[in-house]
Amino acid sequence: MVGIDFHYNFPLKAHNTFGIAAQAAQLVVVQNIESLLTILRANQMPIRILGGGSNILLTGDLPGLTIKNEIGGIEIILENENDVLVKIGGGVGWHDLVLWAVDQGYGGIENLSLIPGTVGAAPIQNIGAYGVELKDVFHSLDAIDLRSAEPLHFTTEQCKFGYRDSIFKRELKGQAIIVHVFLKLHKKPVLNTDYGDIQRVLAANGITKPTIRDVSNAVIHIRQSKLPNPQEIGNAGSFFKNPELDAIEIQRFISRFPLAPHYLQTDGREKVPAGWLIEQAGWKGQRFGDAGCHAKQALVLVNYGSAKGGEILDLAHKIQSSVKAKFDIDITPEVNIW
C-alpha cells in the first residue's frame, strides 16, 4: 500500500515489557485513522492490536497481521468552570497523559501515575490503582471494527466496566481497535489519598495540603519502590487479579485464615490480595531458570533474562494450582496471554 510500511518477521522483544523474544509475521504502525482504514479494508488476515506491550505475555510468534497503535494527540474539546472533556489518541502513552494532566492542573488520574501502556489499552483493562479506576473519569471512546472497518462509539455503560474488565475483554475481545478515548477531568479535584501508602509518603515529606502533583509523585514513589522496572527486569506488573469473594466465601476463608487481609467492596464482596495468597503459598522470590516470582512483590512474575513465554505461563499455572490447593481460591491472570 502506498505510504504504508509493512514489516515482516518483525522482532517483538523490545515491544513487550516481559522482554520475550518473539516475532510478528507482519507488523504495521498506524498513526492516523485514514491509514488504519486503508489497511483494514484490504486485510484478509487475523489481526492483533499492539499498544505498549505492557499487559501481554507472548507464548510464541504472532501469525497474521499485528497493528501497532500510535495514534496520537491530546485535545480539550469541552470546558466549563469545573471540568474539561479531553480527547486522547489511543497510541498516547498513559503516563504521558497523566503528566500532561498534572501540568495542566486537571485532576482525576493522578492516582494512576506510572501505569505502563497506552491510552487505547486503558479501557480494555479498566486500569486502576490506589483507589481509582479508569471508569471514574471515563466519558466515552471511539473504536473501529476490525472486520468491517466501521466506526464504533461506546459510552461508559456500553463498555461494561468491571474489576480489570470490560466488554473488550469479553464479547468484543479482539474485534475492535480503540482510536480515541474521552475523559472528564476536574479543575477542582477531590483528592483520593486514603488508599495504600499515599498518606504515609505525603506525611514523610511533610505535606499536609497535597496537590494533584503531590499525589502523583507519591504514587510514583510507591510504585517504583514496590514494582520492578521493566527496563531492568522483564515483567508486566501485576500478573494476577485480586480475587473477590462473596459473603459465604469470605466467612469460610477468614474462619480458616483469620489473619488474612481482606477489603470490603462497594458491591458487598470482599477483595483478598492475590500477592498475599501467593506469598503465603511460598512462591515469593522463587526462580526457575530465568522465570521467577519477584523477590519484593509476589504478584509480579518476571523474566530475568531469556525466559520463554511458555516458561512464565507454566510458572503461573503452578502458582494458581498451589493457591487453589491451600486456600480453595481461584486466581486469574490480569495479563493477556498471546
334 labelled catalytic: yes
In angstroms, the Cα distances linking 89 to 80, 141, 160 are 22, 10, 21
Alpha carbons within 13 angstroms on the beta-carbon side of residue 334 total 25
Query: Can you give the C-alpha Rg of the chain in angstroms?
Result: 20
Residues 331 and 321: their CA atoms lie apart, in Å, by 9
164 labelled catalytic: yes
User: Under a CB-based contact definition with an 8 Å cutoff, are residues 319 and 293 in contact?
Assistant: yes
User: Under a CB-based contact definition with an 8 Å cutoff, are residues 338 and 57 in contact?
Assistant: yes
User: Under a CB-based contact definition with an 8 Å cutoff, are residues 78 and 179 in contact?
Assistant: no
Catalytic residue from among 110, 133, 270, 334: 334
- Residue identified by cell 501469525 is 63
200 labelled catalytic: no
Residues 58 and 19: their CA atoms lie apart, in Å, by 9
Strands 83-89 and 176-186: antiparallel
Instruction: Write out the three cell numbers for 81.
Output: 468552570
Interhelix angle 94-104/212-226, nearest 10 degrees: 150
User: Under a CB-based contact definition with an 8 Å cutoff, are residues 156 and 138 in contact?
Assistant: yes
Catalytic residue from among 140, 164, 223, 311: 164
Catalytic residue from among 48, 54, 238, 244: 238
- Show Cβ contacts of residue 332 under 8 Å, excluding neighbours closer than 6 positions: 240, 241, 243, 320
Instruction: Write out the three cell numbers for 305.
Output: 533474562
- Residue identified by cell 520475550 is 20
Residues 65 and 45: their CA atoms lie apart, in Å, by 6
Residues classed as catalytic: 164, 238, 334
